[in-house]
Amino acid sequence: AVDILKPMNSCFIISPFSVDFDSLSRIIEDAANQVGLIPMRTDKIQANQDILKEIEEGIKSAKIVVVIYSPVVDDLSKLNVLYELGFAHALGKSTLVVKEKNQQLPFDLGFRRYIEYNQEELSKKSRDMVLKIKDSMHIMLDKMVKKNNQLTNPDNENVSVIHKMHLIPEFWTKI
């Protein structure tokens, strides 16, 4: 079992609780494994306590959050998925939405990174889907590395004085 409270290189997968999304979840898990992330699914959490707390901790510790968006599931499942996605956005997590081609995203999500799939072709083209998701994850991870390099380079003019104080112990002696 994975300790969900321990920060790690994980990919947290948010999906409706339905067997209809098992094959897509496995595809996402495969892509995550291929980029070196540990996939964690909301529907696989065995909570000893509050499941919402477990989900929140999983999202907090994840490098990437992938969301299976499907408005065709019951309203409660859809709301749970959107709640968890909103939590990830509030934390500033890198998110990727996976949705079926014929489904429209809510307005606020339409401008974010997403990948479309065709349910009928999913089993025949699973390798293509893994590649699409994997490529998106690579792009997201590369952006994180670049952002981290900018924030940890004290010579970068975009790094704030407060951040430089933490990066350079000698900063305090220069004042």
% of the chain surpassing 70 pLDDT: 71
- Comparing CA positions, the residue from 101, 87, 98, 89 lying closest to residue 137 is 98
pLDDT at 164 over 80: no
Question: Amino acid letter at 74?
Answer: D
Other CB atoms closer than 10 Å to residue 10's CB: what's the count? 21
- How far, in Å, CA of 82 to CA of 84, rounded? 5
Confidence of residue 3 (pLDDT cuts 50, 70, 90): very low
Choice between 110 and 51, residue whose per-residue pLDDT is larger: 51
Burial 104-120 (b: 16+ CB within 10 A, else e): eeeeebeeeebeebebe
pLDDT at 118 over 70: yes
Query: Where does residue 90 rank: exposed (0-12), middle (13-18), buried (19+ CB within 10 A)?
Result: exposed
Phi, psi at 131, each rounded to 5°:
-65, -45
Phi, psi at 65, each rounded to 5°:
-120, 125
pLDDT at 2 over 70: no
Cβ-based neighbours of 59, under 8 Å, separated by 6 or more: 12, 14, 65, 84, 87, 88, 91, 93
**C-alpha dihedral sign at 58, 37, 115, 117:** negative
Average pLDDT estimate for 122-131: 83
Whole-number average pLDDT of the chain: 77
Q: Please answer whether residues 48 and 61 qualify as being in contact, where contact means their C-beta atoms are separated by less than 8 angstroms.
A: no
Amino acid 10: pLDDT: 92
- Map tokens 């696989």 to a residue: 44
pLDDT at 159 over 70: no
pTM: 0.75
Amino acid 32: pLDDT: 94
